[in-house]
Amino acid sequence: MNVNEVYIVFGIVFTASYVLHAMGVTIGYHRLLTHRSFTCPKIVEYFWILAGYLAFEGSPIWWVTMHRAHHRYQDTPLDPHSPSFGLFRSHIGWMLNRGYPSHIDPSLQSKDLLTDPVYRFLEQDGDWHKAHRLAFVIGIFFRVAIFVCFGWVAALASLLAGFAVLQIPIMLNVICHIPKLGYKSYATNDDSVNVWWVGLLAFGEGWHNNHHASPSSARTGMKLHELDLSWLTIRAMEKLRLASGINEVTPAQLAMMDSARKSKQLTQV
């Protein structure tokens, strides 16, 4: 394989892997499992979750529990990763704990996932370090399999794409909760903002203020320029009968909800 062929193979595998793993996080972990914004057959669910898991995202139960806690306690001291209480804690510090803090309990906040034996196995009895190690080992073995079948270029491209996608939710936790870095379209009671370049890299997740204004919506891009590739993929899945029960909050509906929220805030002043 000459140098040009290496670049071509690397570029194709990296791009395809990035798209697949990123949508595993945005569609599978986030919009499907965490917010239940649509339903799908179990095999489709496992497909997206595996795609996200291979980007070293860790136990789905852990991921969902912590994200639901983030919404419940948004930008308060109980929020697992608000940058209001330190950038290191918001970025990776919160993941260094051994287990859940006292106010966060999967048996209460993610009991819908505890009936799934696959997710229970990946959870490793709530020991974060064991669960993260398992995700790392499985992710590395996946790249070893790619190396055996397709060579080192494809394996390296897949590995780097996985690590790149791992940064999406970690980066989003910080950047999209620092008001000066983005814009706020809706009057939510938190610091969430929309950041255009995160929206592009994260396939729609960067429209974070929109998301906090209506967390259960499968759609986050509300304005014409707010490209939401994850939403377009969910719509395509619906047309292929791979998704149903989609909860779409439209811009008009969100504007009405925002107006009602502002009126309520004024009456409380």
How many domains in the chain? 1
23-72 pLDDT, tens digit each: 999 999 999 999 999 999 999 999 999 999 999 999 999 999 999 999 99
Helix and strand element counts for the chain (H, E): 12, 0
Q: What is the pLDDT of residues 102-128, one digit of tens each?
A: 899 999 999 999 999 999 999 999 999
Per-residue pLDDT reduced to its tens digit, 214-247 = 999 999 999 999 999 999 999 999 999 999 999 9
Owning domain of residue 161: 3-268
Write the secondary structure of 189-252 as one string of H (helix), E (strand) and C (coil): CCCCCECHHHHHHCCCCCEHHHHHHCCCCCCCCCCCCCCCHHHHHHHHHHHCCCCECCCCCCHH
Rounded to whole angstroms, the Cα distance separating 6 from 154 reads 9
Q: Which of 37-51, 75-89, 163-177, 215-229 has the lowest mean pLDDT?
A: 75-89
Side chain identity at 43, as an amino acid letter? I
The band of 22, judged by pLDDT with boundaries at 50, 70 and 90, is: very high
State both tokens at 184: 């706020």
Looking at the whole model, is its pTM more than 0.85? yes
Name the nearest CA neighbour of 100 among 63, 137, 56, 50.
63
